[in-house]
Structures are given as structure tokens and as C-alpha cells.
A and B are shown apart, each in its own frame.
Chain A
Amino acid sequence: MRILLEKLMINYPYFVAVILFTIGALTVLTRSNLFKKLIGINIMESAIFLMFIAGGNIRGGAVPILDEANPKPLYINPVPSALMLTGIVVSVSVTAFALALIVRLYQSYGTTDARRIAEMRNEVTEG
């Protein structure tokens, strides 16, 4: 138990990432409000970003900018951060697109609730 706790303490960013991911996934799957779904997606993606960046972090490492005059013994891995920059860009574009779709849905149905929309659609097709 103690060992487990110690492992958790050392790897706490991953722990947080898992919690965030779960929150995000649950929000996406259980909420019917379209905005909340979208926010859930964002939370989930943040969790992944956090995990990636934590994976690249090296304790005691310096900022990875090479200074020839003053070389450091240990640098942080810059690749994950760079990758996550791309990830964030993607995430933003998804969000923007989803928001546009929500606007479109609100214009036609007058609500942002997925369940209401489904009901209204069924009424339309049945009627």
C-alpha cells in the first residue's frame, strides 16, 4: 500500500490526467446538453495533453535551449510539448467546428439539448 502511494506521489501528473480523462469522458457520454458534451471533449483532450507533457518532463532538467557557453547536464524533452502544440491547435479547430454545428442546430430546433432535438426530429419524421 505504501509503495503504491509512493508511486502515486511520484507519478501524480498521470493520476490527475486519469481523473481528468474520466471526468471528460463521463461528461461527453452522460450529458445531453451539446455545450456540455463539447466541454467534456475539451477536458478529455486536456488530460491527454497533460499526460504527454508530463511524460516529456525530466525532474531537474533545464529548459531545452542550447547555450554553448553554459551547457546544462540535463534538458527537458521538448518533443512532447511541441507535439501538444499541434494537439491544441487540432482541439481548437474541433471546438470551433462543433460550436458552428451547435449554432446551426439551435437555429433549426431552438434548443441545445440533444434529447429534445432527437424528440423533435422523430416527431417530424413521424408526422
Chain B
Amino acid sequence: MTATITANLPVFVVIAPLFVAFVLPTFARRMRLVESLVVAIEAIGLVGAGYLASIVLMQKGIPIIYSLGGWSAPWGIELEVGSLGAFFLLVVAAVSLPVALFARGNLTEEVGGKERVTRFYVLYLLLNGALAGMAVTNDLFNIFVLVEVATLSCCGLVSARNHPRAAEAAFTYLILATLGSALVLGGIGFLYIITGHLNMGFASQELGRIWQDYPHVVWMAASFMLVGFGVKSALFPLHVWLPDAHSTAPSPASAILSGLAVKGYLICLLKVLYIVFGHTLMQEFAMHRILVLLGMIAIIAGSLFALAQDELKRRLAFSTVAQVGYIILGLGLVNMKGLTGTLFYLASHAVIKSSLFLAAGAIIAATGKHRISELAGIGRKMPVTMAVFTVGSLGLVGIPLFSGFIGKWYLLLGSLDAGHILAAAVIIIGSVLCAAYLFPIIRVAYFEPVPEENWQDPGMPQKIALILLAVGVVILGVAPGPFLELASRAAIELLVIK
């Protein structure tokens, strides 16, 4: 029994949440059961991801290959849990468990009605399964399908609140995201037509042989992919949908959308760029320069927009736009340190941003106030929540001992290795701007007169979820050991793939 489970674990971590998602509506009347089931499946996912990661770490770079249905590649569909896959699986599981825990209890009010809670969880698990799938898949068309599953469940989560603004944000998101998927599918089409493979490894080999015959097609494919995933991961000029979507969604949804969903698309982009095109082709077509440039623009512009917002969740949403810039910038560095940094930054931002959104959600749920200027003295009334928010902010700014610092350190090393002095400067300016838009919140919360109202920290499960995430931020900053190891291994594997 255990042998069967461990042998099939790569597919199990993807299928399990999807399966439970479809079973969930049958228990719709028993809320407690639904909630426990979701938390249980997330916990199982975390254990599975941890187990896979430990195997990958022990095998020192030999990936676990799983052929679906026993058909080996190139005919069948392949799942590959290498360092990259195990890394992202772990991130997904580690973030979605606390978020699911947080959702217990306070969700009913936010989404308006008990029956809607179950629907929320269905979408939540679907998104989870899709993200886990993105981590392990090694097939281009699978990527498209998973991206679509993720997109639809994201839209569903955005519209989960029973409010016309949520529906509007969801519609904008849906249209733009579908536009993005169409572009992604187009890009996959181009690649398939010239290479004849959908398996990424085979496509990459074929592409390496024939790209000189079809330079224009390769260009088209790359740009379609970049724009397509760019829309979905809110790369700066294509981010228009994000602030509305992430700020109107219920807080657990905002956390998972900003923390993980965006990262899933970035991982897909990373896989396509580094595994299918490969770093030599990327440099041949100067894609890395474009990525660095886009990243720098996103960091500065996103931060400036964030600075201008007074609504708490909108400020956090724009901050995501800026942070995506860091990851895109790191993708363009094409060296080991830069790539390690970008992967680690991705993980660190996933944990930090979800903790920030959850803390913001707890504040909004307790006070009913959305604006930063109205949050005076909240730190005294809700100490745990605000402490978590502070830890998250310090992490995002990149103060040593918190997770963001290590990511930024490697990004800086990488950008100087690649000779991008300007990029290094932008990374630093981004940190300062980040401090400029996050510290006022902390200042208002702690150093302004304490209000009369009886606001309180949220209930026990929420508190535990918040503390778990804050502890994650600190652990990643103080003892990043296995995470950093996985990230740097993944970076090496991506760079020596050809």
C-alpha cells in the first residue's frame, strides 16, 4: 500500500486536491466536515510535497519521472519531479495550508452564505491541483490545460464575494486572462508545428536542431508565450486586471491569488523559457535583455503605483506587480545566482504576500475599514495580526534575517555577475520604495492614537495560520537550508540542460 502511494506520489499530489474538489459539494451541508476535509487534504499535500522534495534532495539532481498511464514519452504524458518541481510543489503546499486554515470560520461572512463557502473551497482546491500540476508537468499542452483550470478557478475565487464589483473585476480578469491563454496556446501551437513534440524535453532537443530554419516562428512563439504568461502573471503594462481582482476577492483568495497563482504562471514561463527554448536560444534571441528591462520597469512602476494607493488591499495588490518585476528580472539574468535568487524570491514572496493579505483580511474583517489612514492604533488592538503584518513587511523590504533579503542578495549577485549595474540599482531602489509604501501602514498602526472601538485579533485558526506564515518568513530568512538548496539545484539544472 505505502509502496503504491510513494510510487504514484507525483501524480497523487496533483490528483488528490482535484478529486476532493469534485467530491466536496456532496457534503455541502456539513460545513465543519468540508473545512476539515480541505485542511486535511492540504496537510496531506504538504507531507507529500515534503517527501518528494526530500527524495529529490537525496538523489542529488536525478528527477523522479512518472509516465501517466504507463505510456513513456514522447507518446505519453510525463510528470517530472526535479528540483524545480519539488521546490514549487513545496511552496504551493506550504502556503496553501495556512491559507486554508485561515479560511475556516471567517469565510461565511465574506462570501455571503454557507452554500457559497463550499463553492469557494471547490475552486480553491481546483486551483491548488492546477498549481501542483504546473510544478510537475513536463508537457506543453498540459501546461495550457492547467493554466486554464487555474485561470477559471481564479476568476471564480475573485467573484466569490457576492458583490457587483467582484463580478466586474472577475469579468475583466476573465477576458484578459483568456486573451493570455489564447496567446499561450498560440505559442504552444507554433512550437508544436515546427518541432512535432509536446513533451518539453523532446521539443527542446528538436528546437535546438532546427531553430535556424525557422527563426521567425521561434520569435513568434517566444513573444506569444511572454505576452500570454505576462498578462496572467501581471507583468507591468499588462497588470491592469490585477489590482481590482486581488483587492475585491475575499482575503484568503487574495492571499492565494497574489501569493501562489501568479507564481504558477511565472513557473510555467520559466519552464518554457529555460527548458523548451533553453538559455542559449534565449540569449540568441535577446529575450533575457527584454526580461530584465521589463522587470526593472515593473519594479519601479508597480512600487510607485502602490505608493499612491490609500486602500490597504489595493496597495498590497500593486506591490505584487512590483514584486513580479523582481522575479521577471531574475529570469532574465541567465546565470546561476540570478536564477537561484529569482526562485528563492518567488518562494519568499509567496509566503510574505499571503501573510500580508491574510493580515489585511483579518484587519478588514475586524474593523470594517479598508483605508490605511483609518487604521490608526490598530497595532495595539490587534497585536498578533499587526505583528505578522510587520514581519511580512520587513521581509518584503528585504531586511536581513527575513526571507526577502536572501532572495534579493542572490538577485544582486546575479545581476552584477551578468553585468547589469542598473538592474542592481533598481533592485535597491525597489526596496526603498517598498519601505516607503509599507512602513506608513506600520507607523499608523503602532504610533498613532489608539481608537476606542473594541477591535480584536481573529479567532484561533486564523491566528495559527498567520503565525505559521510569519514563522515561515523568519525561517526562510534565518535557515533557508533545504529551500535554497533546491532553488540552487534547480538553477543549475535549468542552465546545464543543453
Contacts and interface: CB of A to CB of B under 8 A. Distances in A.
Interface string B307-335: 00000000000000000000000000000
Interface in B141-169: 141, 144-145, 148, 152, 155-156, 159, 164-165, 167-168
A62 interface: no
B68 interface: no
A3 B167 CA distance: 51
A104 B166 CA distance: 10
A18 to B, nearest CB: 10
Contact of B167 (A79, A80, A105): A105
A101 B159 contact: yes
Nearest to B196: A77
Nearest to B170: A101
A21 B171 contact: no
B478 interface: no
Given A48-B186, A51-B186, A105 B192 contact: no
Contacts of B174: 94, 97-98, 101
B189 A28 contact: no
B192 A55 contact: yes
Contacts, number: 76
Nearest to B159: A101
A104 to B, nearest CB: 4
A105 B168 contact: yes
B179 A44 contact: yes
B171 A102 contact: yes
Contact of B152 (A21, A41, A44, A97): A97
Contacts of B170: 101
A41 B164 contact: no
Contact of A90 (B148, B165, B189): B148
A41 B155 CA distance: 16
B182 interface: yes
A48 B145 contact: no
A104 B145 contact: no
Interface string B186-201: 1001001100001000
Nearest to A55: B193
A64 B479 CA distance: 57
B178 A41 contact: yes
Given A25-B179, A83-B141, A86-B145, A55 B167 contact: no
B352 interface: no
B175 interface: yes
Interface residues of B, number: 26
A34 B193 CA distance: 34
B185 interface: yes
A44 to B, nearest CB: 5
Contacts of B144: 87
A108 to B, nearest CB: 4
A98 B156 CA distance: 10
A107 to B, nearest CB: 8
B312 to A, nearest CB: 16
A101 B167 contact: yes
B167 A94 contact: no
Interface hub of A24, A37, A90, A102 (most chain B Cβ within 10 A): A90
A105 B164 contact: yes
A82 to B, nearest CB: 9
A38 B167 contact: no
Contacts of B155: 97, 101
A47 B167 CA distance: 28
Contacts of B171: 34, 98, 101-102, 105
A109 B336 CA distance: 52
A44 B164 contact: no
B8 to A, nearest CB: 23
Contacts of A117: 168
Contacts of B156: 97
Given A48-B186, A80-B192, A101-B174, A108 B145 contact: no
Interface of B: 141, 144-145, 148, 152, 155-156, 159, 164-165, 167-168, 170-171, 174-175, 178-179, 181-182, 185-186, 189, 192-193, 198
Given A83-B141, A94-B174, A97-B156, 20 more contacts: A24-B182, A34-B171, A41-B178, A41-B179, A48-B185, A48-B186, A52-B189, A83-B198, A87-B144, A90-B145, A97-B152, A97-B155, A97-B174, A101-B159, A102-B171, A104-B164, A108-B164, A121-B164, A121-B165, A121-B168
26 contacts: A24-B182, A28-B175, A28-B179, A34-B171, A37-B175, A41-B179, A41-B182, A44-B179, A48-B189, A51-B193, A52-B185, A52-B192, A55-B189, A55-B192, A80-B192, A83-B141, A86-B145, A90-B181, A97-B155, A97-B174, A101-B155, A101-B167, A105-B167, A105-B171, A121-B165, A121-B168
Interface of A: 21, 24-25, 28, 34, 37-38, 41, 44-45, 47-48, 51-52, 55, 79-80, 83, 86-87, 90, 93-94, 97-98, 101-102, 104-105, 108-109, 117, 121
